[in-house]
Structure 1
Amino acid sequence: MANKILTTHVGSLPRTPELLEANTARANNAISEEKFNEIIAQSVDKVVKKQHDIGIDQVNDGEYGHITSGAIDYGAWWNYSFYRLGGLEMTDEDRWGRTEKVRSTPGNVKLTSFQDRRDREKFQAAYEDPDSGVLGRRNKVANPVFAGPVTYVGQDQVNRDVSLLTEAMKKYGVQQGFMAAISPGSAARLEDRHYHDDKALLDAVADALHEEYKAITDAGLIVQLDAPDLAEAWDQINPEPTVEDFQAWLQLRVDAANRALEGIDPSLVRLHICWGSWHGPHTTDIPFEHIVDQCLQIKAGSFSFEASSPRHAHEWKVWQNKDRLGAGRQIVPGLVSHSTNAVEHPELIADRIVRFAELVGPENVIASTDCGLGGRIHEQIAWAKLESLVEGAALASKRLFG
């Protein structure tokens, strides 16, 4: 679209009470599949209309079709994959409640438990204080393990999601849509009791998820690979590894993403990179400069990243390297944050957009959010941030295009 800065977001939008109740009921086998799908369909219609009414250009289904436990937590974004990958065996282990500590050694990078993250270790009192605001409300969520060959079993679910989104887009005259999907590296973070080999597991997960990505892009939608593992996994390695060791670990995830995207048009692929969604200090995050070039190896046409977080807003400087992005690709910087209740002023958003536009060209900038807004801030605040995003993009468009 000429002479306009387009707007979008990262994916997760506030769930309605009805949808949260339906997810909980489904987990307890207390709702029929027909009724559950009916509630999803009604909810998707409403959330697409709301995005359209606000003025979001690239809309999605709010990730409403991503089945969760019904929990309002920071982990629910990936739980949907438990229902779409075969070869998993459910355990009663809560990913937050596991306490074992895994130590990495030089040349042998391994992820430790979530509770053993270095940021949590450094700010232990704050993380353990329920009134500190560091973590939001959450329910315990049991995790599966890889117990057999990985397959894809989510065909019916992804086809439903694609159909509901495209139907709503047509109904409200929306031209561009996207759908989030977990990256191979993020999905492969579950415990492996079958392959016992990092690359073998990643390859198997990549082959399975290729089916989901293809179903989305075959419908003309953009598939967004949610790949927080590319950045925030650094904090889950204890003790801190060398940058070189982490980059070697990262390369396997980059290669797996490209394997999963084989044969898919890069213009229909958006990569989302972030340092995790929790409301924490984030003082142990890896600098963007150390990973950006590896992330850019992934065959995606656009790259979404945090750009308004207090820990990462300064990293717009990585794009001062004029050759870094490459031709025919776009950046999708986060211009409003999911980690603060303050609603960013449209003028601030416009300033941020113009700065990026001056570096990579206005035609290569799409205004977005740092991460998903659902479950992280209050519904009213989430929608207010998106309204401000649209207003800021309009101001920037006037400055850039006249």
Structure 2
Amino acid sequence: MKPPFRADHVGSLVRPPELAEARAQFADGVLTAEELANVEHKAIAAIVRRQESIGLESITEGEFGRDWWHIDFLTQLDGVTTRANYGPQFGGAGDQPPVATVTDKVDCSKPIMVNQFEYLQSIVRATPKFTIPSPSMLHIRGGRKAISSDAYPELDEFWADVSAAYRKAIVWFAAAGCSYLQLDDVAFSYLCDPAVRENCRRNGDDPKPLARRYADTINSILADKPAGMTVTMHTCRGNFRGAWVAEGGYEAVAEAMFSIDVDGFFMEFDSARAGTFEPLRFLPEGKKAVLGLVTTKVGKMEKKDLLKRRIDAAARFVPLENLCLSPQCGFSSTHHGAAVSEVGQWRKLELVVDTAHEVWG
């Protein structure tokens, strides 16, 4: 079966204590980059074997080489740095993610994270899956305010440069053999929330055309998608140590989002924050919706029968053969830790696999 698989997952996994300790020692200058890489590789090898042992067909490196799911990639693009967060806040999370900030012309003059994919590919038996942030992550939190007016007096040129940079990045992944790439994009889910739309206005943007702008940009970067590469997109309402940013159903953005020419959409549906399944009626024929029904925000286990009933409810809008199952987000989007334990993480992934087997065979 071509990805996304009936039982799939978003990507990030809980960092084991030895990796967290090694990253802290590296930050303090106690470990060298090579020594840290050795610890990372050992930890990644362990989670690869565990993913394969429970029956997952897509295997990730857990984003173990990153501090943040998005910032580590974005700041390796030319012209991008960070500032302290002044965008939408994660409720009750304390520390807040920094905001990607554009200070000069955006480009991709070197491969980004391809070495991390190559290590993953070298040790997997199943399909290696790699995740990168969507281009909209350069805009949604900081907006016009976070993009230099000197570098980009007009945003059309900014989006053109972003598209060109991402096309280069994807070509490098393809050249390394990547056949399953996921774009992580919280922007569409964020735009469902009136508070986020108001923040867009404060940042100098009209929120009404943003979903279409983001969709057009993603379609632009995929216009010359390498043959044989599956690309999916994940969207959720934020996941930072169990906290979130946005609430609201997908109705306001569904048509624009589903116009994106990816092979599947990983969508958060673990709580009332995500609304109903009704917007799935806009899913184009032949595309897959991966239902994020298993939460990564709390450790309490879902009931298999409830998951099956919810899959049946979604199947009223999308044929069952075009649906898949996953957690609603990664388990540890940042290095700070997670709301679910390592043990709980594997139990939830086993639940996804077992439920998918019973529903689809």
> Smaller-chain TM-score range?
0.7 to 0.9
Of 366, 387, 390, which aligns to 2:353?
Answer: 390
The CA distance in 2 between the partners of 1:220 and 1:346, in whole Å, is 33
- Alignment-mate amino acid for residue 69 of structure 2: W
1:266-281 alignment, distance < 5 Å:
268-278=230-240, 279=242
The CA distance in 2 between the partners of 1:49 and 1:185, in whole Å, is 33
* Aligned residue in 1 for 2:45: 45
User: What's the offset of the Cα at 1:144?
Assistant: 5.8
* Aligned residue in 2 for 1:227: 185
* Aligned residue in 1 for 2:35: 35
- Percent identity, aligned pairs only, is 22
- Alignment-mate amino acid for residue 294 of structure 2: V
User: What's the offset of the Cα at 1:304?
Assistant: 0.8
Instruction: Check conservation: 2:75, 2:81, Cα contact below 8 A.
Output: no
SS of aligned partner of 1:258: helix
Instruction: Check conservation: 1:5, 1:363, Cα contact below 8 A.
Output: no
* Aligned residue in 2 for 1:361: 319
Let me know the Cα RMSD of the aligned residues. 2.9
The alignment of Structure 1 onto Structure 2 pairs a total of residues equal to 341
The CA distance in 2 between the partners of 1:18 and 1:267, in whole Å, is 34
The CA distance in 2 between the partners of 1:82 and 1:187, in whole Å, is 7
1:330-349 alignment, distance < 5 Å:
330-349=288-307
2:106 counterpart of 1:145 = no
CA shift digits 1:284-340 (9 cap, x unpaired): 63420111110111110111101222322x521223x3xx32233111110201223
- Alignment-mate amino acid for residue 395 of structure 1: E
Of 310, 314, 318, which aligns to 1:352?
Answer: 310
Unaligned runs of 5+ in 2: none
SS of aligned partner of 1:10: coil
CA shift digits 1:239-297 (9 cap, x unpaired): 797xxx53412221111111222211596110112122254587x63420111110111
User: What's the offset of the Cα at 1:382?
Assistant: 1.8
User: What's the offset of the Cα at 1:226?
Assistant: 0.7
2:273 counterpart of 1:311 = yes
Structure with the larger helix share: 1
2:75 counterpart of 1:114 = no
* Aligned residue in 2 for 1:237: 197
* Aligned residue in 2 for 1:376: 338
Range with greater deviation from structure 2 (80-89 or 5-14):
80-89
* Aligned residue in 1 for 2:170: 213
* Aligned residue in 2 for 1:260: 221
The CA distance in 2 between the partners of 1:154 and 1:26, in whole Å, is 24
The CA distance in 1 between the partners of 2:159 and 2:50, in whole Å, is 37
CA shift digits 1:21-46 (9 cap, x unpaired): 34344445543232232222222211
User: What's the offset of the Cα at 1:19?
Assistant: 2.4
The CA distance in 2 between the partners of 1:281 and 1:13, in whole Å, is 18
CA shift digits 1:342-372 (9 cap, x unpaired): 1112222233334434543333222111111
The CA distance in 2 between the partners of 1:206 and 1:27, in whole Å, is 33
The CA distance in 1 between the partners of 2:229 and 2:307, in whole Å, is 25
The CA distance in 1 between the partners of 2:243 and 2:17, in whole Å, is 26
CA shift digits 1:134-156 (9 cap, x unpaired): 42x74x6665632211122551x
* Aligned residue in 2 for 1:12: 12
The CA distance in 1 between the partners of 2:188 and 2:290, in whole Å, is 16
* Aligned residue in 2 for 1:103: none
Structure 2 vs 1, CA of residues 161 and 275 (structure 1 numbering), >3 Å: closer, same or farther?
Answer: same
Of 61, 70, 85, which aligns to 2:77?
Answer: 85
Structure 2 vs 1, CA of residues 389 and 154 (structure 1 numbering), >3 Å: closer, same or farther?
Answer: farther
2:160 counterpart of 1:198 = no
The CA distance in 2 between the partners of 1:58 and 1:180, in whole Å, is 12
Instruction: Check conservation: 1:5, 1:362, Cα contact below 8 A.
Output: no
- Alignment-mate amino acid for residue 252 of structure 1: R
Unaligned runs of 5+ in 1: 69-75, 99-112, 121-126, 128-133
Instruction: Check conservation: 2:78, 2:107, Cα contact below 8 A.
Output: yes
Instruction: Check conservation: 2:270, 2:328, Cα contact below 8 A.
Output: yes
2:117 counterpart of 1:166 = no
TM-score by length of 2: 0.83
